[in-house]
Amino acid sequence: MPATHDKFGRPIVVVTGMGVVTSLGAGKEDNWAKLTAGESGIRTISRFSTEGLKTSIAGTVDFLKVEPFSSPDLSQKLAETAAEEAVAQAAIGTKGDFPGPLFLAVAPVEIEWPNRLELGRDTGNPDYTYDDLLRVSGGGKYTRFHRRFLFGSVSDYLADTFGTKGSPISLSTACASGASAIQLGVEAIRRGETDAALCVATDGSVNLENLIRFSLLSALSMRNDAPHAASKPFSKNRDGFVMAEGAGALVLESYESAAARGAKILGVLAGCGELADSFHRTRSSPDGKPIIGCVRNALSDAGIAPEQIDYINAHGTGTPENDKMEYLGISSVFGEQTGRLPVSSNKSMVGHTLSAAGAVEAIFSLLTLEHQRIPPTINYDVPDPAIPFDVVPNKARDARVTAVMSNSFGFGGQNASLILTREPL
Amino acid sequence: MTETKASENKPSKPAAEVWITGIGIATSLGEGLDATWDALKARRINVDEKNFAPYIVHPWAPVNFDTQIPKKGDQRQMEAWQRIGTYTAGLALDSAGIKGNKEILARTDMIVAAGGGERDLAVDTSIMQAEARSNSAPGFLNERLMSDLRPTLFLAQLSNLLAGNIAIVHGVTGSSRTFMGEEGAGVDAAKIALARIAAGQSDIALIGGSHNAERKEMLMLYEFDNFNLRDKFVPVWARANKPGFALGSVGTFLVMESKAHAQARGAKPFARLSHVVSDQARRKAPGEVTASLQALWSKLGKLDDNGAIITGATGAEPVTSEELAFLRQHPDFAIRAAGTAFGHNMEAQFILGLALAALSISRGALFPANDTTALEVEMAKPPTQIVVTGAGHWRSEGMALVETVK
């Protein structure tokens, strides 16, 4: 049997199950086929009226219905769908009895407008205030809102459904959340606390107020007339990201445990890096140091040199700021190798799945390793000369890929990078 | 309690001892360790029974934010919960003697237990009233939200932006993780930070949380299941007939580090944090919380007789009665409910318990009982071990052991 521990003496962490849902579809097969065909899941929003809004497109997941809609309801449905696929593939434990903890990346939760207005009608007074809302809130009529709008509500449901062990952890590191959930799982296995972890990341938060909030920060693309072409990472004419929904779920296991039970190993979580940025609430430090440090931390955690990375699954949101800073960070670490290194953005097709992105893109990275094929950056018609990446423009490409870096950067100075490999290093 | 068993993944080196070397605390009873200790000794309680009537809250005692958040621009970018948290994180860094120490702060790992930020109730109210009179004209909500929402408010509401603000204001950048999920978020923040340091994955961490009681939108969330204490304040243990919690206002942060790291920089410990354990009973049948707490108790290692327990008991039912049943199995332990003096602080409640335990250990005394029932009794001897417990109002059970450094 090959070594079960890495060169640092830590248990090797492998992936034995994956599940994914995006605006392209449900499941790895469907997603991978469309992703490598360069299809876009971005569409005109039909969930609510977008009258008067600057942005009216998103990568919504409309084929999974929750009635009535709320963000935690959809997030839960997406997470459950992805986790079912991952746990089934891993064939671990028994149904409803997963032998390890749950780490869930999920968007912050709050009572939404339809609920607020429903309560308002209940007050019977058109000039109602929060005091009136409070007056009608109690008594048991709205108990369901307490359950639904607790921050722990989605993880509570998933822990119950999948029978994960111990206290489930819900976390948010903004757009790096999915990567952070995976990192927590990797660390727990390396500490020897558990042999397996269920790491899930989900985001179903395309509702009116969330869309407007990002819009008011001038973060969103406004190419409403051509939804498929709106997400343009690394292009000179990029004008913002496209909000999107989705979920990714991974079953992580110690290599030793996975091998012992004869599980198929889908890839290795070789390294994780993180570093916070103290420059600004929404902008990266202009010197790129936090991103550079994050990428270096991931390489060092995996114990590999930049030359060993064959492909970077970029954060690549398509905002003017992110893509520029990501280039600065990558080129600083990878030096003259940068232009030759394929760097593509799944967000050109699935949009920015926010809290889910880190896990969704880690799964796409693992599929890249499995199929030895790199998904493209679509909508790349006007290259940005300031970002001379090989973005794998518009068409998927076969390539020899043994190690992938997947980056996630978010508001609040959140930076996280993962290194995934086909085989243990 | 089901615990996963790892196979032969033995850690390569023995677990590091973890010390609490910094405490930041600011509450409805004032700020800082001395003011907090004096208030506890005087059995002070600060509640507002009027402004949110019939609900009762523990209001934040104003501080001079400038002393920890010097830039007014930074203060303006935050809502109250973030200001409280960022301020208190600064107190913790001061307490640990690492404030402004760029070399250490750049590798200090941060885990914040957070809910979400304040809504702008004036904006909400104006939109709600206009909507009620507009016969829900299509596009109405769109127009009003586009024109009335402040762009910066979003950033003041995002859960991970408390950590973000601490990074910006105090330069804590080793890592930044935000745990959500009410009471359990605070337990797991402490648990993960301890596990990482003990395993050598981290040398030093800042953990904490903040809570602002004076928020009607949050009172509403808990009112949906009648969790709010009404009409008249009584101590946590005296609420059996009228159960509920009075939300509290606190910021509470701890600096934790390995003994070796603390000694290398000459830092003095308040206490040692030996164990943090957590679980989540399904609570489908009576007795599950009692059993869950008892199972966690058995994982704290050897406990000396005649110790002390600081609990984050809420006063809500049925969980408080279930916790009482657990506490009664340990009659020789002196019990204190932090919620009587400080209210219920959700994500921050367990970390508040850790802070009070470390403070008590360092002062060589358990603070006085504050209870109208006979449950809390005085403790004559200095505590050497304090168990911190927390049973969330709806989900989550957690426990920790805080001890004298030997």
Decide which of B241, B264, B287 is a domain's last residue: B264
Q: Does pTM surpass 0.95?
A: yes
Classify residue B200: in a domain, yes or no: yes
pLDDT at residue B12, rounded to an integer: 55
Picking from A107, A291, A133, A67, the residue whose alpha carbon sits closest to that of residue A201 is A107
Same domain? For B323 and B228 the reply is no
Domain for residue B216, yes or no?
A: yes
Same domain, B231 and B319: no
Say whether pLDDT at B144 is over 70: yes
Residues B247 and B307 in one domain: no
B338: tokens are: 């932090």
From the candidates A175, A199, A272, A294, give the one annotated as an active-site residue: A175
Chain B (162-221) residues lying within 8 Å, Cβ to Cβ, of chain A:
163-165, 167-168, 171-182, 184-185, 187-188, 191-192, 195-196, 199, 201, 216-217, 219-221
Measured distance CA(A304)–CA(A193) in Å, rounded:
25
pLDDT tens for B230-284 read: 999 999 999 999 999 999 999 999 999 999 999 999 999 999 999 999 999 999 9
Res B9: pLDDT: 42
The chain-wide mean pLDDT, for chain A, equals 97
- The enclosing H or E element of A73 equals helix A71-90
- The answer to whether B158 contacts A169, with C-beta atoms less than 8 Å apart, is no
Inter-chain touch A215–B146, beta carbons under 8 Å: yes
**Residues B186 and B203 reside in one and the same domain:** yes
Residue B219 structure tokens: 């009172």
- Min Cα distance A423 → chain B (Å) is 20
Active site residue A175: yes
The C-alpha atoms of residue B184 and residue B292 are separated, in whole angstroms, by 14
Alpha-carbon distance of A330 to A391, in angstroms, equals: 13
Residues 6 or more apart in contact with residue A336 via CB below 8 angstroms: none
Q: Which domains does chain A have, with CATH numbers?
A: 15-110+149-421 (3.40.47.10), 113-148 (no CATH)
**Domain final position from B232, B264, B296:** B264
Instruction: Note whether B88 and B222 are same-domain residues.
Output: yes
| Residue B141 maps to a domain | no
The answer to whether the beta carbons of residues A405 and A418 sit under 8 Å apart is: yes
What is the pLDDT confidence band of residue B135, given thresholds at 50, 70 and 90? Answer: low
Residue B6 has pLDDT above 50, yes or no: no
Low-confidence ranges of chain A (pLDDT < 50): none
CA distances from A272 to A158, A268, B2 (A): 25, 11, 28
Among A50-54, B12-16, B103-107, the minimum mean pLDDT is found in B12-16
* pLDDT tens-digit readout, A73-131: 999 999 999 999 999 999 999 999 999 999 999 999 999 999 999 999 999 999 999 99
Whether residue B300 is contained in a domain is answered as yes
Domain that holds residue B278: 271-403
DSSP string, B211-252: E----HHHHHHHHTTT-B-BSS---GGG-SSS--B-B--EEE
Query: For chain B, how are helix, strand and coil distributed in percent, rounded to 5?
Result: 40, 20, 45
**Most A CBs within 10 Å, among B220, B228, B247, to test the A interface:** B220
Q: Where are the beta strands (DSSP E) in A48-121?
A: 57-58, 102-105
Could you tell me the CA-to-CA distances from A104 to A167, A279, B46, B126, B373 in Å, in that order?
11, 27, 37, 36, 41
pLDDT at A2: 74
Over residues A361-400, the pLDDT tens digits come to: 999 999 999 999 999 999 999 999 999 999 999 999 999 9
Q: Is residue B139 part of a domain?
A: no
Q: Are residues B192 and B275 in the same domain?
A: no
CATH number at residue B216: 3.40.47.10
The reply to whether B223 and B192 lie within a common domain is yes
Does the annotation count A280 as an active-site position? no
Q: Are residues B284 and B226 in the same domain?
A: no
Residue A335 CA to residue B135 CA, distance in Å, equals: 61
- Catalytic annotation on A315? yes
Angle at A177 between CA B399 and CA B204, to 5 degrees: 50
Q: Which of A158, A191, A285 to mutate to test binding with chain B, by most B CBs within 10 Å of its CB?
A: A191
> Is B225 part of any domain?
yes
Q: Do A193 and B115 touch (CB under 8 A)?
A: no
User: H/E element holding A415?
Assistant: strand A414-421
pLDDT above 70 as % of chain B: 97
Tokens of B80: 């109250």
pLDDT at position B2 is 39
Return left, alpha or beta for B100; rule: phi > 0 is left, psi -120 to 50 is alpha, else beta. Answer: left
Of B10-19, B52-61, B225-234, give the lowest mean pLDDT range: B10-19
